[in-house]
Amino acid sequence: MADAELKQKVEELIAANPVLLFMKGTPEMPRCGFSMRVVQALDAMDVEYGAIDVLPALQPLREVTAEISDWQTFPQLYVNGELLGGADIVEEMFESGELAEALGVEQPAEAASAPAVAQAPPLQIE
Amino acid sequence: MADLAEIKAMIEAALPGAAVEVVDETGGGDHLRATVTAAQFEGLSRIDQHRLVKAAVKPRFDDGAIHALSVRTAVPDS
């Protein structure tokens, strides 16, 4: 059973921040490779986001997020109040352009390097 | 240390008809990657697709056999 006061605080944070990342460490100094991958994706999107370091209260926060969104591992990225996913999902959505869509921003040029090749016009032979 | 064949069977039991591949990412037996293609994923968000896979193997997380499971999900081409 999660701590009721902490749960309420987390719910308020999720409601108050359109883009909110629960991570290990900070965006400036991630303490986990998975958290770092999500930070890199968000930074590439040039979007403002809130970040919460879960390490000082890891186990209580696991219990809280298990109740709120049925997810216990970190990082967790919330967009408009809903859990979008952890590192695997965020990376997959970053590559496919779905992350930009979910965040309501333009897909950055560097993320689209592979699709850009595919979208290049066919070679014309004179 | 997880039994890869058992993990695969647990996912297949939860998602009948799914194509499931489970690999050991580190050689240590506790950081696994599962690639799951299932018709049941149709219409679900990615997070819900992943929830189905993680729920299927939850007992092996709970008993500590697995520490990390990377998941890739896809809907089969119709």
Q: Do B47 and A93 touch (CB under 8 A)?
A: no
| Nearest CB neighbour to A83, from listed B47, B70, B71 | B47
Contact indicator for A68, A60 with CB cutoff of 8 Å: no
Any CB–CB contact under 8 A between B67 and chain A?
no
Question: At B8, phi and psi to the nearest 5?
Answer: -60, -45
**Boundaries of domain holding B27:** 4-74
Is residue A100 packed enough to be buried (19+ CB in 10 Å), middle (13-18) or exposed (0-12)? buried
Residue B10's domain is classified under what CATH number? Answer: 3.30.300.90
pLDDT at A115: 42
Closest Cα partner for B4 from B21, B17, B18, B26? Answer: B21
Q: Do A92 and B71 touch (CB under 8 A)?
A: no
Residue-wise pLDDT tens digits, B20-69: 999 998 888 778 999 999 999 999 999 999 999 999 999 998 898 888 88
Where would I find the beta strands (DSSP E) of B1-78? Answer: 19-24, 31-37, 68-74
Residue-wise pLDDT tens digits, A29-85: 999 999 999 999 999 998 999 999 999 999 999 999 999 998 989 999 999 999 999
Q: Do B72 and A83 touch (CB under 8 A)?
A: no
Specify the number of domains making up chain B. 1
Q: Do B50 and A89 touch (CB under 8 A)?
A: yes
- Chain B nearest-CA distance from A28, in A, is 24
The CATH class, in words, for A4-103 is: alpha beta
Q: What is the C-alpha separation between B19 and B73, in angstroms, rounded? A: 10
Domain positions in chain A are: 4-103
Any CB–CB contact under 8 A between B47 and chain A?
yes
CA-based nearest residue in chain B for residue A91: B72
Q: Do B70 and A84 touch (CB under 8 A)?
A: no
Rounded to two decimals, the pTM is 0.81
Chain B hits for A88, Cβ within 8 Å: 50, 70-72
